[in-house]
Amino acid sequence: MTDSPTGSATADLSEASSELDDPAYRAAVVDLLGAIAYGEISAFERLAEDAKLAPDLEDKVALATLAAGQLDQVAALRTRLEELGADPFEAMAPFRKPIEDFHRHTAPADWWEGLVKAYVGDGIANDFYREVAAFLDPETRDLVIATLGDTGHADFVVERLRAAFAVDRQLSGRLALWGRRLMGEALTQAQRVAAERDALAALIAGGVDRPGLDLVAIGKMFSRMTERHAARMTTLGLAH
């Protein structure tokens, strides 16, 4: 006998409730949602700054609009954190420094570097969060996946960069090097976060119920992230 849709939904809620009763799992979820929420706020600030570098008014407005969309994603994350009994701002606080360190180390020199960073940097972060989401309860997983959905940013960046590369091949070479630097910095920061947040590290390793840190599992995760980064660079027409 198969579960009815209602029965299946009830089972999912029951499973989520049971998992969230585990303090270690709850702490990992709060960490993850806090990291994503601050990442969205940081993305808003970055895109607003990048809009100042836009070569024309059309691009300025387009990027400012995309920046506003980042803040829309934060509301649902704050609500979920409050449902879990967490203060959203306290949940975000541990991730402020590593995220801001990444942006400080990868400040774009011009409009083109800003576009690549927005596309590649956001893509790497989203890959990281999607990997972790595989170990979440259904309700939290669905929220994370929905939050990471593309708001049209990727299409905007790819269109602008491909048009630029068609007339300036030297630009593509420079930005290919920039893309590799972004990947290295992003992985360094992700590994730092994983090492410093025990509950989140356990979740990344495949579940908070696993004893110790599964370095093999984490290594495979970062390998998959590297492969997806290479695919994004190919989409842009950049060597990797």
pLDDT of residue 207: 57
Instruction: Decide: 122 and 43 in contact? Cβ < 8 Å.
Output: yes
**For residue 136, what is the DSSP state?**
S
Domain assignment present for residue 32? The answer is yes
Q: Would you say residue 4 lies in a domain? A: no
**Domain presence at residue 215:** yes
- 89 inside domain: yes
Residue 2 lies in a domain: no
- pLDDT tens for the chain, residues 1 to 240: 445 444 444 444 445 556 777 888 898 899 999 999 999 899 888 888 888 888 899 888 888 888 877 787 898 999 999 999 999 999 999 999 888 888 888 988 899 998 898 888 888 888 888 888 888 889 899 999 988 876 667 788 888 888 898 888 889 889 999 999 998 888 888 777 777 777 777 777 665 454 445 667 777 888 888 898 888 888 887 864
Domain membership of residue 135 (yes or no) is yes
* CA 96/CA 140 separation, integer angstroms: 22
Work out whether the CA dihedral 35, 118, 188, 125 comes out positive or negative.
positive
- Inside any domain, residue 125: yes
pLDDT digits (tens, 9 = 90+) for 109-151: 899 998 898 888 888 888 888 888 888 889 899 999 988 876 6
Full residue range of the structural domain in which residue 112 is found: 18-236
Residue 165 belongs to some domain of the structure: yes
| Burial class of residue 57, CB neighbours in 10 A (0-12, 13-18, 19+) | exposed
Any alpha helices (H) in the chain, and if so which ranges?
5-20, 23-51, 57-83, 88-92, 96-105, 111-116, 122-133, 138-147, 153-167, 169-196, 198-204, 215-236
Count of domains for the chain: 1
Helix (H, G, I), strand (E, B) or coil at 108: coil
